[in-house]
Amino acid sequence: MKLYYAPGACSLSGRISLHEAGLRAAFEKVDIQTKITEEGYDYRAINPKGYVPLLVLDDGQTVTENIAILELIADRQPTLAPGGPLGRTRLIEMLSWLSTELHAAFKPFWHSQDETERAEASGAVAERLDLISEHINELYLFGPRFTVADAYLFVMLRWAIAFGVPMSPQMLGYFERVVERETVRRALAEEGLGLPLPQLTAIPVEVLP
Ligand SMILES: N[C@@H](CCC(=O)N[C@@H](CS)C(=O)NCC(=O)O)C(=O)O
């Protein structure tokens, strides 16, 4: 498998999940501004959508959309999904919310310099983080089991911290728990991001999408 990624972007959740699943993969960096890959290819020819992530399977098929990629990894390693009869449904429910509600709420941070719009985005992200704070009391989003949804939330908490979005001590505690995981530290190091703790505010914004 091969994951096309940009450092610190939502594709980081795929890298963390691949490591959690113990799946071997190659990784190729994409410059999301120029759309040129690390090996000098036109990324739009690989993924006409132009954004990361994209996962190439061993048989050459490609998968786009972070939800689909994370779901595929959880399919290969079911311990990365919540258990129980509704486990898969709960995972899709959470991934959909993370993508369409939380991830989407960050958009003004990337696309607008308008202070009012950015303040509104900060409020929208903070409100959404509060909504899920009750989910993280038992270690991770689905209790003691770390899932691909935690990998996705972690990436967005990293953005939230970099943009100064206020968050509860519970959410910061969750962030610290996730960052303690060996797979997370490894993924951050591989993307040249280092450890975001303890200098939380020192995450360089230019490495974010
Ligand atoms: N719908 C896509 C959105 C992915 C996305 O927003 N990727 C960002 C990085 S987190 C990106 O590559 N942005 C560059 C661009 O859109 O040109 C998904 O969920 O996978």
Print the domain residue range for 126.
Answer: 83-207
Residue 86's pLDDT is what? 97
> Cβ distance 178 to 150 under 8 Å?
yes
Residues 192 and 90 in one domain: yes
Query: Could you tell me if the CB of 51 is within 6 A of ligand 1?
Result: yes
Residue of minimum CA distance from atom 16 in ligand 1: 51
Residues 173 and 90 in one domain: yes
Ligand 1 atom nearest to CA at 69: 20
Domain count, the chain: 2
Query: Could you tell me if the CB of 50 is within 6 A of ligand 1?
Result: yes
User: What is the pTM for the complete model shown?
Assistant: 0.94
Give percent of the chain above pLDDT 90: 89
Residues 64 and 143 in one domain: no
CA of 51 to the centre of ligand 1 (A): 4
Per DSSP, helices labelled H in 133-202 are 148-162, 169-179, 182-190
Query: Could you tell me if the CB of 63 is within 6 A of ligand 1?
Result: no
Query: Could you tell me if the CB of 65 is within 6 A of ligand 1?
Result: yes
Rounded mean pLDDT of the chain? 92
Residues 20 and 112 in one domain: no
- Domain CATH code at residue 101: 1.20.1050.10
- The DSSP H or E segment spanning 4 is strand 2-5
Residue 202's pLDDT is what? 37
CA distance 157 to 175: 7
Give percent of the chain above pLDDT 70: 92
CA of 188 to the centre of ligand 1 (A): 19
Which residue among 21, 52, 76 closes a domain? 76
Residues 146 and 188 in one domain: yes
Residues 176 and 201 in one domain: yes
CA distance 93 to 195: 30
Which residue among 76, 104, 130 closes a domain? 76
Residues 100 and 137 in one domain: yes
Ligand 1 atom nearest to CA at 52: 12
Residues 54 and 11 in one domain: yes
Which residue among 76, 99, 128 closes a domain? 76
- Domain CATH code at residue 23: 3.40.30.10
Residues 128 and 195 in one domain: yes
Residues 58 and 111 in one domain: no
10-27 pLDDT, tens digit each: 999 999 999 999 999 999
Q: Which of 51, 67, 155 to mutate to test the pocket of ligand 1 (most atoms within 8 A of CB)?
A: 51
Residue 26's pLDDT is what? 98
